[in-house]
Amino acid sequence: MTPRGETSMVPPPEFESYYGRQIIKTPTWKTPDVPLYLFLGGMGGASAVLAEVAASSGRPDLERVARVTAAGSAALGTVALVHDLGRPERFLNMLRVLKPTSPLSVGSFILAPFASLSGAAAASFLTGRLPRLGRLAGVGAAALGPPLATYTGALLANTAVPAWHEAHRELPFIFAGSGAAAAGGMAMVFSPCAQAGPARRMVLMGAAMEIVGAERLLDRIGLVGEPYRTGRPGRLMSVSRSLTAVAAGATLVLGRRSRAVSALAGAACVGASVLTRFGIFEAGLASARDPKYTVVPQKERIAARERAAVGR
Amino acid sequence: MGRLSGRLDDVTADAGYEDHPPRVGFFTDTSVCIGCKACEVACKTWNSVPDDGYLLTGMSYDNTQALGASTWRHVAFVEKSSEVSLPVDLGMPSMSLPGADPSAAGQATESGDGVVTWLMSSDVCKHCTHAACLDVCPTGSLFRTEFGTVVVQPDICNGCGYCVPACPYGVIDLREDDGRAFKCTLCYDRLKEGQQPACAQACPTESIQFGELDELRERADARLAELHEKGVDVARLYGRDPEDGVGGGGAFFLLLDEPEVYGLPPDPVVTTRDLGSIWKHVAMAAAALTGVGVAAAVGRRR
């Protein structure tokens, strides 16, 4: 694959198809329900971690924001997920079996306890009741938070959608980084600079993880990475990357001193995280709609096998 | 949980059936398909599958277009213009032996400006040995039957839609007004009564053959050898190999061109073949996020 920005001297791949029709089905998951859920799971999961960091270092204002963000994201995310179902009244069937082969099943068994625990932790913190139990619930939510933020990578990757499946190594890291940046960003918006140190560090580390993950993805997956660079998803990804980089830079330079810059940079991180999820989601849809992304890599796979067989 | 990829000779036992009938399936020999669509009609009628629009596509005789929630058999019509493959040997000079060009394959017909090669093929759910739809279904609605086929239980499906992008062939889909996922059941009800599926019964040319999978594979091998002997070198079996990316299909095909020409993926692989790597990377990323939290905590005290 040629590096981005350079013109390829190789002609575009030729392939045959059935009247240009797509081969795999376009995912039926609804927009904005599912990309929003991906975002909320990431921000909520990382916020639960941040809440425990705040609690253990005595930062009550930061803890409040993180606990409310974790609980609110889980609640909203659950609503988005149920609303996306073709038969929402049957949402409890999600908990009928636990199947490791289905990331959606595993995710349901992460989301359900996470929503309960983060909700209990937030309620306890806000009301001051049952503080020990509340803290215990918070620790439980913090343990489930990282799996919640990252399993969505498996959710997308465990499909036949070329741009998602081929990205299965990087997607969990992009989602983890993007979730950390959003959680830190949300905390920067709503807590005083003096308490927001861990939030700022989360933004910086999360932004780095997200940007490096996305770069590695595009360098590695070749043709099926094209939807991440072109069209609407390409623009979403590119705006998100710039926004994240600028916000992280502002956080590094002025985050500790300026409340206004801190709030703006935090909000930019949250916005960039939303854009990343929509970009990745829509890139998958684009790669499903064009038979090129299904046929060409598979033909190349066959050709490589045949070459290996001849060489043997 | 069963095996996720590779060769698997008794998929039904792997799914937990101790005592079970032999695995059954379809062998669709497209070299004798005449495009009558009797299979489509028989399927719709027997299974009470609702209509999915009466659009004229304008692209070919194929107004059905693709498999979907309300189309469980789909007859593809491929019209290929070709200047070289004349149905009658006119003694034109050529680089090969006269009459040796096999690409017409007995399905060519003359038209005004040359030749149109006709390919017709009745597509159906492959009832994969390693079925991605079944693997990713979070409710257990999709299950492996005692016949080794893959069936949706409509009373359990909650319309999450995960099976739709999981299928490497684009077979299963959600019915929009209903919200649930539907696909070919290989006439599960008829199998239980010892009958063959409606499409196979209705097929007038025995292009769709139903039977025990082992026997169908032998029949297909014999048919392929026969066609190759007649010089139809383009004939190939699709989905027959138990070593392929889905462990072989319960429904497989004899094709006269590349799979993608019929709208089939050339080298489908069940997504869960990579499940180990997928979960491994999730675990590493989750650990990294925990690490980010720890690192954020140990920074300076402001």
Task: Write out pLDDT tens, residues A98-118.
Answer: 999 999 999 999 999 999 999
| CB-nearest partner of B292 from A21, A93, A205 | A205
DSSP H or E stretch at residue A248: helix A231-254
Q: How far is CA A56 from CA A43, A196, A203, B280, in A?
A: 20, 14, 19, 30
Task: Confirm if B1 and B234 have CB atoms less than 8 A apart.
Answer: no
- Is 70 exceeded by the pLDDT of residue A311? yes
Read off the pLDDT of residues B252-292 as tens digits, 9 standing for 90 and up: 999 999 999 999 999 999 999 999 999 999 999 999 999 99
A244-253 exposure pattern, b = at least 16 Cβ within 10 A, e = fewer: bbbbbebbee
**Assign residue B137 a region: left if phi > 0, alpha if psi is -120 to 50, beta otherwise?**
beta
pLDDT (mean) for A198-205: 98
Q: Provide the mean pLDDT of chain A.
A: 95
Most A-contacting residue of B282, B298, B300, B302 (CB-CB within 10 A), to test interface:
B282
CA of B5, closest CA in chain A: separation in Å?
12
The ipTM estimated for the assembled molecules is 0.95
Percent of residues, chain A, with pLDDT higher than 90: 94
Which residues are B68's β-sheet partners?
A: B71
A162 touches chain B (CB under 8 A): no
**Of the candidates A20, A26, A83, A109, the residue with the CA atom closest to the CA atom of residue A291:** A20
| A105 occurs within a structural domain | yes
| A307 occurs within a structural domain | no
| A17 occurs within a structural domain | no
Contacting residues for A284 by C-beta, under 8 A, at least 6 apart: A27, A156, A159, A161, A163, A164, A227, B165
B180 touches chain A (CB under 8 A): yes
Q: How far is CA B71 from CA A57, A62, A86, A161, B154, in A?
A: 60, 55, 19, 21, 16
DSSP H or E stretch at residue A220: helix A197-220
Residues 119-158 of B with CB under 8 A from A: 132, 135-141, 156-158
B238 touches chain A (CB under 8 A): no
Contact A53 B293 (CB under 8 A): yes
Q: Domains in chain A: how many in total?
A: 1
Q: Which domain holds residue A250?
A: 33-301
- The domain spanning residue A130 has which CATH number? 1.20.1630.10
A151 touches chain B (CB under 8 A): yes
Task: Confirm if A200 and A251 have CB atoms less than 8 A apart.
Answer: yes
Contact B290 A49 (CB under 8 A): yes
Q: Provide the mean pLDDT of chain B.
A: 90
CA of B91, closest CA in chain A: separation in Å?
31
| A20 occurs within a structural domain | no
**Residues of chain B positioned with their CB less than 8 A from the CB of A42:** none
Q: What is the pLDDT of residue B92?
A: 53
pLDDT (mean) for A199-209: 98
A7 touches chain B (CB under 8 A): no
Q: Which residue reads 């094709």 in tokens? A: B255
**Residues of chain A positioned with their CB less than 8 A from the CB of B131:** none
And the tokens for B14?
């792997």
| A14 occurs within a structural domain | no
| A6 occurs within a structural domain | no
Length of chain B as a residue count: 302
Q: How far is CA B48 from the centre of its chain?
A: 21
Determine the residue of chain B that is closest to A88 in CA distance.
Answer: B158
B178 touches chain A (CB under 8 A): yes
B8 touches chain A (CB under 8 A): no
| CB-nearest partner of A24 from B159, B168, B262 | B168
**Assign residue A157 a region: left if phi > 0, alpha if psi is -120 to 50, beta otherwise?**
alpha
Q: How confident is the model at residue A241 (pLDDT cuts 50, 70, 90)?
A: very high
DSSP H or E stretch at residue A267: helix A259-289
Read off the pLDDT of residues B123-175 as tens digits, 9 standing for 90 and up: 999 999 999 999 999 999 999 999 999 999 999 999 999 999 999 999 999 99
**Residues of chain B positioned with their CB less than 8 A from the CB of A87:** 157-159, 179-180
| A81 occurs within a structural domain | yes
Q: At what angle do helices A171-190 and A33-56 cross, to 10 degrees?
A: 60
Give all strands of the β-sheet with B24-29 in edge-to-edge order. B208-212, B24-29, B251-255, B236-238
Q: What is the pLDDT of residue B2?
A: 75
Read off the pLDDT of residues A281-299 as tens digits, 9 standing for 90 and up: 999 999 999 999 999 999 9
- Give this prediction's pTM: 0.92
pLDDT (mean) for A177-191: 98
CA of B247, closest CA in chain A: separation in Å?
16
Q: What is the pLDDT of residue B104?
A: 43
B236-250 exposure pattern, b = at least 16 Cβ within 10 A, e = fewer: bbbbbebebbbbbbb
Q: What is the pLDDT of residue A246?
A: 98
| A247 occurs within a structural domain | yes
